[in-house]
Amino acid sequence: KQEVTQIPAALSVPEGENLVLNCSFTDSAIYNLQWFRQDPGKGLTSLLLIQSSQREQTSGRLNASLDKSSGRSTLYIAASQPGDSATYLCAPRGSARQLTFGSGTQLTVLP
The answer to whether residue 103 forms part of the interface with another protein (CB under 8 A) is: yes
Candidates 45, 58, 70, 108; binder of another protein (CB under 8 A) is: 45
Candidates 11, 13, 19, 49; binder of another protein (CB under 8 A) is: 49
Choose between 38 and 63: whose C-beta lies nearer to another protein. Answer: 38
Burial class (CB in 10 A: 0-12, 13-18, 19+), 45: exposed
Q: How far apart are CA 39 and CA 96, in angstroms?
A: 28
Q: How far apart are CA 22 and CA 50, in angstroms?
A: 15
Nearest to 30 by CA among 43, 44, 6, 49: 49
Length of the chain: 111
Smallest distance from another protein to CB 21, Å: 14
Query: What are the φ/ψ torsions at residue 82 (nearest 5 degrees)?
Result: -55, -30
Piece of 12-20, 62-70, 77-85, 100-108 that binds another protein (CB under 8 A): 100-108
Choose between 18 and 108: whose C-beta lies nearer to another protein. Answer: 108
Interface residue list for another protein (CB under 8 A): 4, 31-32, 34, 36, 41-46, 49-51, 89, 91, 93, 97-104
